Chain A
């Protein structure tokens, strides 16, 4: 075991106590913001540099190394008992190289001075083997000036790993008790935390160290009818995951919501089954984020458009790019979709992506027209013609991400957001303006085809809207859409005041499959005459 390894083990316990409160500010300059320090191991920097040097010596034209020590924690409860308490830790490094235009990657959990060299050479050997089957060499888009000492940290105020287990357990069991006092038959609640300390170095000369936090508290309340003929659940979709620390759990206050969620689950048992037909849908941000994820964020991934995900996640209806960019109308003039990795507390936020690019906010849909894809350095070059035409620099949008040190980084979605409208409208205004509709709160079932045309979504709560008023609860509702029609049928959008962030941890793509965490901000929207089906059947 190396010195750095020993230090890491000693530090993990110590680091937990040392973090405390930190500035919530995000560095805007490429260099470290004052007051922000990397919590991980400084010796990682030297090892990352050693890895890329070894790769260069072995013949790499470009190399990057990522060292990560990630700690996560799961707590689960049901009713009055704790079902699991688990701490997980994964530590290792990955080296990616480009040799003569072909990629190679290798990774190991054994971070020693010898192993980084062995693995770097192995990655070069992989690339050389791949070169034999290469048709088109990889070219990387230009990158800004190197950042030799970048530091970034999620704006977490309380490191979750400094909070006592007893406090976390008490928080969950109190929330369960509140739900049961309100009549819940079953209740599950949980917390998940991640702290990932990532060191990155590339042959460009950039070296960054980032500390990423994620937090998600959640609960599911189940009501069963007295005769066992029916059961209904309410998930805590009012609470969304964040790139924050334990303060997100405290702010979420599950206990304060539990009785209402239990009551809503009870109401679902006696809700009226929906009548099949076309309705105007009013979609709450706690629901709409998932529709945006599936029907805007995924089809605008450039690797999908080129067929690189054909064997797993699928391709895209937005292809080929030369027929879609600047030509495809996604929605009405007031539809704007902005991608970012900067929103404070969002899941995709970072200082630099996993190939050392400082991400910038960029429009995917501008005034209703499709104008750009999500890109990495390799992919930005594929759109060189478009950026030249637009008089924009050909550069990566900073969408490179790997779920762990053991996975090769590739294009993953940033936060993809539907922007608020100019009018100061809120949820209630959209309902008041609707004659015959269904209002949907919270995300539920979701499924979409491999080119992102045909989708079906459920939800948590469905309300019948008649003449501007909610007239009762519905159940067994799902809506089916064809993506282009659905967004072009959007006729109302909430204002800034009604904009909220939703999101998820488990966004899958790639082979081997990798999971991404991403937020989607949006206001409530209204969509005219959407096809609604009834999903209720009897076993």
Chain B
């Protein structure tokens, strides 16, 4: 096989382990074990990317890699060793080294036994349409941004397209075996006007290449860039804000990140209750807010098991504004007499029916935010975060977008934001939250969102 041919064919033959191949390797590793218990996680992946900036290609690459993690346990002692080499000798060394480390580890009073074999939902997240994408097709996709930008002359594009395939499997000495394979495509594009005053962003993400509308992403980012030119500064303060789904994702995802039951029960979480315990069962946000994880949701298509091999089904965290559930590890669940929830691999906030036009039309004075940037925790007690708007921030006056405005820094909590909810749009899959992952969010309109300073950054 010539290299050019392998490039043209997309995912190289044999690069992604099949279920049978993964199971055969996992079983071999389990047999190598001399420990009381062993847990093996393994996978292989292939990805290829093109990056462009200043209206030209900058870098491109393709990477084949693999990974295996072996956890060995002797009673309550355990340790993990990982490597990216799946050869027989390496796997053996990995098992032996994890056993050496585990014997040296002190007893872990919170160690849990390996899981018995589990039943998993099957999530079809592997698309041949993605696996078959070749170099020419990727270049064509990039040209949907590069060609109009070069032709127009008033804009510069910078974008990134990454596509790939991978698999992940988990096995243990009790016969548990989980396997999931997936493909992925992520495309993001930033368009800046050559006068340096305008910037627009758009993106798309899906396991299925056919679901990515490259032309639409390009048109959207170009339009945002031009419309955001020559922004004017407005006074920071509390505003009615319409957030596009991308911006909602950055803030709403945080609610799930703070949803650990143990932290709450220990009194160091926004979901700790004064005097002890946690806030499960309490109303924490507007009653129109429902947030859940569901690997099988067609907008999410995530791995249906967590890192320990626990099956993940639909799990509702917030229902009609009420904190329905916190995340319980197996240990904490046992200690508190609850059911373990497993980790999360996806998050969705259910939407409403309002269109973006309706949200704008109903706004006397407000701000439209395309996306957020550099979100960082300021106060974990309230999930207070700071960050900035970016790539398309607009003033709304008397029901219409009146002009582009300078970016603003916020200091705000998603809990406060989701309490001040006015309208919701339909939920859509996101391409570029700072934390990443399979996330679907609606556009929302909220009141009294707290902007604390101005940024002249474009």
| A binding-site residues for B, Cβ under 8 Å | 1, 5-6, 9, 12-13, 58, 81-92, 102-110, 118, 121-122, 124-127, 129-130, 132-136, 164-166, 169, 173, 185-186, 222, 224, 227-231, 306-312, 314-315, 317, 319, 406, 408, 410, 445-454, 456, 458, 476, 478, 480, 482, 511-512, 531, 533, 535-539
Point out the residue from B93, B97, B373, B452 that lies within 8 Å of A449, measured CB to CB. B373
B409 — which chain A residues lie within 8 A by C-beta?
447, 449, 454, 456, 480
In the complex, which residues 409-458 of chain B have their Cβ closer than 8 Å to any Cβ of chain A? 409, 411, 413, 415-416, 452-458
The 10 closest A-B pairs by CB, nearest first: A454-B455, A451-B457, A121-B3, A310-B158, A449-B457, A105-B61, A511-B160, A311-B158, A85-B79, A311-B190
Chain B: minimal CB distance from A129 (Å): 5
Any A CB within 8 A of the CB of B129: no
B88 — which chain A residues lie within 8 A by C-beta?
1
Interface string of B393-418 (1 = CB under 8 A from A): 00000000000000101010101100
A165 — which chain B residues lie within 8 A by C-beta?
79, 101, 104-105
A535 — which chain B residues lie within 8 A by C-beta?
378-379, 384, 411
- Most A-side CB within 10 Å, residue of B4, B156, B455: B455
A105 — which chain B residues lie within 8 A by C-beta?
59-62
Mostly helix, strand, loop or mixed at chain A's interface?
mixed
Q: Is the CB of A166 within 8 A of B104?
A: yes
A312 — which chain B residues lie within 8 A by C-beta?
160, 188
A-B contacts besides A104-B60, A456-B453, 4 pairs, CB < 8 Å? A133-B143, A228-B272, A228-B273, A228-B274
Chain A: minimal CB distance from B283 (Å): 13
Q: Is the CB of B382 within 8 A of A449?
A: no
Q: How far is B194's CA from A319's CA once the two chains are assembled, in angstroms?
A: 12
Q: Is the CB of A228 within 8 A of B275?
A: yes
A103 — which chain B residues lie within 8 A by C-beta?
58-60
Q: Is the CB of B188 within 8 A of A9?
A: no
Q: How far is B270's CA from A538's CA once the two chains are assembled, in angstroms?
A: 10
Q: How far is B110's CA from A307's CA once the two chains are assembled, in angstroms?
A: 50
Q: Is the CB of A227 within 8 A of B275?
A: yes
Q: Is the CB of B3 within 8 A of A118?
A: yes
| B binding-site residues for A, Cβ under 8 Å | 2-4, 6-7, 47, 49-66, 78-85, 87-90, 93, 97-98, 101-102, 104-106, 108-110, 135-136, 139, 142-143, 146, 150, 156, 158-160, 162, 188-190, 192, 196, 199, 201, 266-268, 270, 272-276, 373-382, 384, 386-388, 390, 407, 409, 411, 413, 415-416, 452-458
Chain A: minimal CB distance from B262 (Å): 10
Q: Is the CB of A458 within 8 A of B378?
A: yes
Q: How far is B391's CA from A450's CA once the two chains are assembled, in angstroms?
A: 10
Point out the residue from A122, A132, A454, A512 that lies within 8 Å of B388, measured CB to CB. A454
Q: Is the CB of B452 within 8 A of A533?
A: yes
B390 — which chain A residues lie within 8 A by C-beta?
449-450
Q: Is the CB of B457 within 8 A of A453?
A: yes
Residue of A whose beta carbon sits closest to that of B8: A125
Q: How far is B407's CA from A314's CA once the two chains are assembled, in angstroms?
A: 14
- Most B-side CB within 10 Å, residue of A164, A310, A406: A310
Q: How far is B156's CA from A118's CA once the two chains are assembled, in angstroms?
A: 35
A127 — which chain B residues lie within 8 A by C-beta?
60
Point out the residue from A5, A9, A450, A454 that lies within 8 Å of B454, measured CB to CB. A454
Q: Is the CB of B139 within 8 A of A449?
A: no
| 21 residue pairs bridging A and B, Cβ less than 8 Å apart | A6-B89, A13-B93, A58-B3, A87-B79, A107-B62, A108-B65, A118-B3, A122-B6, A126-B60, A165-B79, A169-B104, A169-B105, A231-B268, A306-B53, A308-B54, A311-B53, A311-B159, A311-B160, A445-B376, A445-B377, A480-B409
Q: How far is B176's CA from A218's CA once the two chains are assembled, in angstroms?
A: 36
Residue of B whose beta carbon sits closest to that of A448: B374
The answer to whether residues A90 and B84 also contact, given A9-B89, A454-B453 and a CB cut-off of 8 A, is: yes
Q: How far is B337's CA from A451's CA once the two chains are assembled, in angstroms?
A: 50
Residue of A whose beta carbon sits closest to that of B78: A85
A85 — which chain B residues lie within 8 A by C-beta?
78-80, 101-102, 105
Point out the residue from B60, B135, B158, B454 that lies within 8 Å of A307, measured CB to CB. B158
Q: How far is B93's CA from A136's CA once the two chains are assembled, in angstroms?
A: 48
Point out the residue from A82, A110, A306, A319 that lies within 8 Å of B106, measured CB to CB. A82
The answer to whether residues A87 and B82 also contact, given A447-B388, A480-B453 and a CB cut-off of 8 A, is: yes
Point out the residue from B7, B47, B81, B156 that lies within 8 Å of A122, measured CB to CB. B7
Residue of A whose beta carbon sits closest to that of B96: A13
B267 — which chain A residues lie within 8 A by C-beta?
185, 224, 228, 231
B104 — which chain A residues lie within 8 A by C-beta?
164-166, 169
